[in-house]
Amino acid sequence: MPRRRLIAPSERNTLDPFVVATGDARPRDQRDLMERPFFSLAKARRIVPILYEAGDVRIEVLAVHEHGMATIWDADILIWAASQIVEAENLGLRTSRFLRFTPYQLLTAIGRETGAREYKLLKGALTRLQSTVIRTNIRHGENWRRHQFSWINEWEELTRADGRVEGMEFVLPDWFYRGVIDRSLVLTIDPAYFRLTGGIERWLYRVARKHAGRQSGGWLFDVPHLHEKSGSLVRVSDFALQLRRIVLRQPLPGYRLRIEREGRRELLKILPAGSSPSPVDKAVETIGTSHAGLSGFRTQEVSGLRTQRPQLSLWPETTIPALNLESNSESNILRRARDVENIQRGPSSAADKAADHTIPHTSFRKSAFTSSDTSQGSSEPRSRKPGGAS
């Protein structure tokens, strides 16, 4: 008797869709993702896993060779999803891990262009988010010790009979979704975050927002400790050089950076500058799926968060000039893997430095990068509030 192949049913068959409306939502980030190394900080493809342990916390991030690890630019998709979910919950609407949306909505919300290339790169980012595997014991259950998941369980394009794309949908993992609807685990971030071009400065802003917040005294980090928290593959000396260059530019919205020294130890002090976003602290009472009849966003009178219609038709016909093409490599592979932020490398020759200024980048987000060596930082990791508190 021939064997029948069993096909696992789609999770979407068991979830009602949370249809994202076209209104604005304040950007919000998930605390666990802000302070620990869950993403590659480089645009060159990373295969080397991230293995991080601090106290009782353990994180493993694994990538497949074909697509590489999800990057900190890919994480913008998760920030956008968290923002939409929290905005709807704030208005008393029911949400779901199953999101239905248009790529135009997502790309414009995170400051990207909306041409054919950007849609193509978006699909590469979704592919990396789905293929990256995370193992962690953060927020484990009472009788469970390790949770394994991908950032996106599954995703799909929605098309009409003529092949025109009408929208997209994906399913978030339960670990991430529950970390979003638990309001104590969510922080607002400055929309200017999406304009940060470097991987380290993006990661550093999230660390600043999580630790320094609005504390007048800010926060003090030992540079080798920051290097360990970043998951970067570069040497500590290269990482320290990157930090010094970021301090010179002062690119982080809402924060000022300062290098301090204690003997031979190099420290980075993060101080709030002016007003910064306040944390989200209102509890979420409900968890569910969307059947809302009223608006989920302040800019509309009628909701886009409904489940009456199975497909989306929210775009103008001219939004996408041509059909999207599949690409899993362009958005994460440089023509030459020279991004110092996450690729281990030796000292650069004069010819290499000259070449860095002539080679274009192909990425989901353009990134500034530099390469040079400097003195080795201290090997004693520590972070603390100024004044001695650890």
Looking at residue 222, its pLDDT comes to 94
- How does residue 371 score in pLDDT terms, banded at 50, 70 and 90? very low
Q: What pLDDT sits at residue 60?
A: 97
Pairing between β-strand 154-159 and β-strand 165-171 as defined by DSSP bridges: antiparallel
Q: Which of 159-163, 181-185, 243-247, 335-339 has the lowest mean pLDDT?
A: 335-339
Q: Around 231, how many Cα atoms within 13 Å sit in the side-chain half-sphere?
A: 30
Backbone angles phi, psi at 177, to 5 degrees: -60, -45
The candidate with the shortest Cα–Cα distance to 85, out of 166, 29, 160, 145, is 29
For helices 116-131 and 75-90, what crossing angle results, to 10°? Answer: 90
State the chain's mean pLDDT as an integer. Answer: 75
Give the count of beta carbons closer than 10 Å to the beta carbon of residue 369. Answer: 21
pLDDT for 72 equals 97
Residue 202 has pLDDT above 50, yes or no: yes
Q: Does position 390 have pLDDT exceeding 80, yes or no?
A: no
- Cα–Cα dist 108/76, whole Å: 12
Per DSSP, the residues of 24-49 read ----EEEHHHHHS--SBS-SS---SP
Longest dimension (CA), the chain: 77
Query: Is residue 116 helix, strand or coil?
Result: helix
What pLDDT shows up at residue 150? 97
**349 vs 180, higher pLDDT:** 180
| pLDDT value of residue 12 | 64
- 8 vs 217, more confident: 217
Cβ atoms of residues 172 and 77 within 8 Å: no
In whole angstroms, give the CA distance from residue 186 to residue 91: 16
Block residue for tokens 């919205």? 253
pLDDT per position as a tens digit, 278-314 = 444 444 443 333 333 333 333 333 333 333 333 343 3
Alpha carbons 273 and 124: distance in angstroms, whole number: 36
- How far CA 337 is from CA of 25, 75, 85, 105, in Å, comes to 35, 21, 36, 31
Counting Cβ atoms within 10 Å, is residue 313 exposed (0-12), middle (13-18) or buried (19+)?
exposed
Residue 254 has pLDDT above 70, yes or no: yes
CB count in 10 Å sphere of residue 41: 28
CA distances from 286 to 78, 93, 124, 182, 319 (A): 21, 8, 33, 10, 35
What tens digit of pLDDT does each residue of 83-113 get? 999 999 888 888 999 999 998 999 999 999 9
- pLDDT, mean of residues 224-230: 95
* pLDDT tens digits along 43-53: 999 999 999 99
Q: Does residue 223 register a pLDDT over 50?
A: yes
User: What residues are paired with 24 via a beta bridge?
Assistant: none
Alpha helices for 66-134 (secondary structure H): 75-90, 103-109, 116-131
pLDDT band at 214 (very low <50, low <70, confident <90, very high): confident
Residue with tokens 């020294």: 261
pLDDT band at 4 (very low <50, low <70, confident <90, very high): low
Looking at residue 215, its amino acid is Q
Q: Are 45 and 341 a contacting pair, CB within 8 Å? A: no
Rounded Cα distance between 83 and 94, Å, is 14
- Structure token pair of residue 41: 């900080």
